[in-house]
Amino acid sequence: KQEVTQIPAALSVPEGENLVLNCSFTDSAIYNLQWFRQDPGKGLTSLLLIQSSQREQTSGRLNASLDKSSGRSTLYIAASQPGDSATYLCAVTRSNDYKLSFGAGTTVTVRA
User: Contact residues for another protein (CB under 8 A)?
Assistant: 4, 9, 31, 34, 36, 41-46, 49, 89, 91, 93, 98-100, 102-105, 107
Report the C-alpha gap between 33 and 23 in whole angstroms: 10
- CB nearer to another protein: pick between 19 and 37: 37
Smallest gap from Cβ 79 to another protein, in A, equals: 27
Q: How far apart are CA 63 and CA 59, in angstroms?
A: 6
Work out how close the CB of 49 gets to another protein at its nearest, in angstroms, rounded to a whole number: 6
Whichever of 71 and 105 has its CB closer to another protein, that residue is 105
Residue 36 vs 77, nearer CB to another protein: 36
Q: Are strands 86-94 and 106-111 parallel, antiparallel or unpaired?
A: antiparallel
Within a 10 A sphere around the Cβ of 82, how many other Cβ atoms?
Answer: 10
CB of residue 99 vs another protein: minimum separation in angstroms?
Answer: 6
CA atoms within 13 A on the CB side of 84: 28
